[in-house]
A and B are shown apart, each in its own frame.
Chain A
Amino acid sequence: MAEVTLSRRKMLAAGIAALSAPALPEVALAQPAIGRSMPREFNLAIENVTLNITGAPRPAVAINRSVPAPVLHFREGEEVIINVANRLRESTSIHWHGLILPSGQDGVPGISDGFQGIAAGETHQYRFPLVQAGTYWYHSHSGVQEQAGMYGPLVIDPIRPDPYGYDRDYIITLSDWTDENPHRIIRNLKRDPGYYNYNKRTAASLANELARAPNGQAREAIIRDRMMWGDMRMDPTDIEDVTGYTFLVNGRTPEQNFTALYRPGETVRLRFINAGAMSHFDIRIPGLEMTVVQAHGNNVQPVAIDEFRIAPAETFDVLVRPTNGRQFQILAESMGRQGFASASLATRDGMPMLPLPPHRERPLLTMADMGGNYGPKGLDRGTPRPEVDRPGHIAPMEDMGGMDHSGMGHGSGQGGMQGMDHSTMPGMNHGRMPGMNHGAPARGAGARPSTTGTPAMDHSNMPGMDHSNMPGMGRSSSLASDPGFRLAAATLPIASVPGAGLFRLAQASQGSMQGMDHSNMPGMDHSSMPGMGQQGGQPPRQQRQPARPTQQSTPRRDQRGAAPSAADHSAMGHGAPGTGQVGQVDTSAASAHAGHGGMAPPDPFAVNTGAPPGTRVLTYRMLRALSNPYPVREPNRVIEIRLTGNMERYFWAINGNRFSEAQPIVLNLGERVRMRFINETMMSHPMHLHGVWMQPQVGNGAQNPLLHTVSVRPGSTLDVDVEADAEGGWAFHCHMLFHMETGMMRKVEIRRQPRVASHG
């Protein structure tokens, strides 16, 4: 058995050697290239090692005996050869995360063209040109090796210098380490999904909440909220599946205090890579402003922020300018507030870590995170054969009253728009949702389920709610049977109008939906929902507001605004008159369903790090690509990517099918598709598509960012355009590794032959 024991000192030494320098000489790792035309060659060896992070030696998998693996430092335009020697007793693989390369070099066994993994004892040669620059990473795509230590940073220097200067360059690889065997973790989660959750709501916490409640109404709301979650059989405290992690920066614990050196006045580039298996991090450097210059390896218009959240597999590069010579703390707090990864910016090495601050309040899931997204939407699923959900994937929502779309006559096969007549919807009662009482002073309008046949929320009485008056609604009926889609799809045919930009026209059609102005509806005030708008600790907004112009396409100063906007009717895309904000196109898609379900969906771009008011928190909306290789054009089709799963049995899926039972999603080479991510679960899913860029439709038009991983927050709907310009088989999966491992994965096949009538 090729097992090597590494002392902690040795490990650290390796780590330091790999990371010490802005300009790292590829010592021992690379063989010198003779001339520029020769590909440079790198050698990696994968071994079982024993790693001691917590005080107990544990088995790990390391590349070149280092965790994280050594930095691979490439240059844009060159070709590299990487020899990977497998010294494990099992098959392995390396995937180059975010790199644009031929499918056969992508390194996913069984999915990448002709690649079946690297068998035990074998050496595999990867060879590919580097057609991009930026911060990326690499990791195993076999079994559970990645979370056992097989991940490392990958940096590609650009041919033309970056449009921003900096004096120092550090990689900050974040990761989560547990002493527990990954297989054991999966087993524990499958037999008890709450196995690792020691932050459940308890009788004690209930008593506490009740004691602090200001009045009887609040107490009632608290109790009803509890019952509501009980009825749904869901757990609002289920933020992170797995606990017990030690969070690392470049393989080092907070106590070991990785230190990035600076001289006062210098600009320091920090390349953040989240190589964690299951952890989102909220990152801040108290006392320093960060300027984001690169997202997922692609340069973006510099944007100044105070905090950002990084989902697993994401990378963000920021510039900081520490001036006064003091020690700054780079804090990466896990989303579930289990712990910190931390490092220092200091003028000299060897300083002890600064004391960690107290944890921010642990987030709770809200009704908004349920989103009302449930069930098939009737869109193209991108698979060769019709695909149906397997039972057990869709949470029954009958207890949610109006949130059950299947009971609302929206089911597929509905012909005309009369399905949209709200007066025919039974079960629109929101009365069982605490705080969902639409009459602001509680419980007036939101009544109990009506047995008399009069729906409590009789929308038929609302003037102007007849959706059949919407222009363009009839034209797209062949695209999908789902009215919610029609609302969005109504904008599609417009693309064929010569010279007309989609966004402008979409706006026009939205602006003409005057009758949809919810602000005129008495008792439709959703602002009293607990958790629907007050996550930032902001007092509930009591006044009924007229629908306001949305500001979604412009970065907000107040990023908590993201949360309130979930409850804001303007986010429903109905009431807002044309505002000139292209962002509406996206929200109309996102909110179409929920608008009918009676509850606004969460803003797909909202990031609530629990920061104090006034803090600037990065969202995808703030990302504007500096260059976009793709023309702005309409997608050929919209593919439904519902993120599903069974939280009770702990398995995850896409469109109701786990990987083991799913068909590949087939794209035609050269087409542009819009993947409509609909997160039906209560967890965030960072969805990673290999081989091609994803362009989330954040409302920045041609400047929409290019990402390799898109974080889809609970209950939200998010449109992502994909230019299918890379032939072959590509993996497509959630980068929460236990979600991927238990089924949230697909093969995406980009094929050359065009299909009939796919161009519309």
Chain B
Amino acid sequence: MRRTTHAAALTAALLASMVGGASAQQAASQNTVHDPGAHGPASHEVYFGAVLFEKLEWGVGLNGVPNIARWDGQAWYGTDYDKVWIKTQGEVERGRRAENAEVQLLYSRLIGYFWDFQAGVRYDPRPRPDRTYGVIGIQGLAPGLFEVDLQGFVSERGDLSARLELSYDIYVTQRLVLQPNLEVNVAAQRVPELGVNSGFNDIEAGFRLRYEFTREVAPYIGVNYTRRFGEAAKYAREEGGKAEGVEFVSGIRLYF
């Protein structure tokens, strides 16, 4: 219980510092038309940051799938080429502690027109036992306008795993956006204490329909389908969950 609180606090603190950093800068620049760093025109690197919570949602499961709150966010700060990137995601079951939680701290470097190379560390306070991983990955926009985030992990124990996240924004109208997304987790070996399967672990696919009141604030509704495999499925069942399930989600996307 305490560890969870810690993890949550850590996540919150990291994000808060990012948000705080960004908004402080913004506040400074908004008071007056003022450019403190500019002695020469455009001679300075522009530092900027952003915070994106792609998912802040509540899922209502069908057929005994438990109700789950979920978050998935990232924040970055830096220049056109070099940035510090924080990613976090996790799930909390109603009335229980966090089932999954992770935070990543990454260095990000622009290596191509559409692609960032990223490397850093990931810490998972949940599930227990907590784990630390090294992360390497690329993030960017693939042909067809697919948002791609591909990451490889090596844990402190030497276990290898990888994750692919794909999403696509279909603008139905100028403000109504349908976003299909897909997440796949694979691992190179079993990790019984974490319920990790060798090979495919889980697939999560969903559709989220958001309305962009502004680019910053966009509430959404959607459907989410999850399927776990092998050990991962077994683990889920032991925990009283299901290996496969559909849920309806509603939440808000925030982008500042």
Residues of A within 8 A of B (CB): 48, 59-61, 89-91, 108-111, 116-117, 141-145, 148, 181-184, 186-188, 190-192, 195, 198-204, 227, 230-233, 390-396, 399, 646, 648-649, 651, 658-660, 731, 733, 740-743, 745
Contacts and interface: CB of A to CB of B under 8 A. Distances in A.
Nearest to A58: B33
B30 A184 contact: yes
B80 A740 contact: no
Contacts of B44: 660
Given A186-B48, A199-B174, A392-B80, 6 more contacts: A111-B40, A142-B41, A183-B30, A202-B171, A392-B111, A742-B42
Interface of B: 26, 29-30, 32-36, 38-46, 48, 50, 80-81, 110-114, 141, 143-145, 170-175, 178, 215, 255
Contacts of A745: 41-42
Nearest to A108: B41
Contact of B29 (A181, A202, A648, A659): A181
Contact of A742 (B36, B46, B143, B173): B46
The SS class assigned to the A binding surface is: loop
Given A59-B33, A231-B143, A111 B255 contact: no
A231 B146 CA distance: 10
A143 B32 CA distance: 12
B80 A187 contact: no
B114 A60 contact: no
Given A202-B173, A203-B172, A233 B35 contact: no
Nearest to B22: A187
Contact of B143 (A48, A108, A399, A743): A399
Given A89-B34, A660-B42, A743-B42, A203 B171 contact: yes
Interface centre among B36, B39, B41, B44 (most CB of A within 10 A): B41
Nearest to A91: B39
Nearest to A739: B42
Contacts of B144: 227, 230-231, 233
A391 B171 contact: no
B46 to A, nearest CB: 7
A188 B80 CA distance: 13
B42 A396 contact: no
A86 to B, nearest CB: 13
Interface centre among B35, B38, B113, B171 (most CB of A within 10 A): B113
Contacts of A740: 41-42
Contacts of B110: 391-392, 649
Contact of B32 (A59, A91, A116, A399): A59
Contact of B30 (A181, A192, A201, A232): A181
B255 A184 contact: no
Nearest to B50: A191
B42 A659 contact: yes
A186 B41 contact: no
A109 B40 contact: yes
A187 B33 CA distance: 14
A660 B112 contact: no
B39 A116 contact: yes
Contacts of B32: 48, 59, 89
A192 B110 CA distance: 16
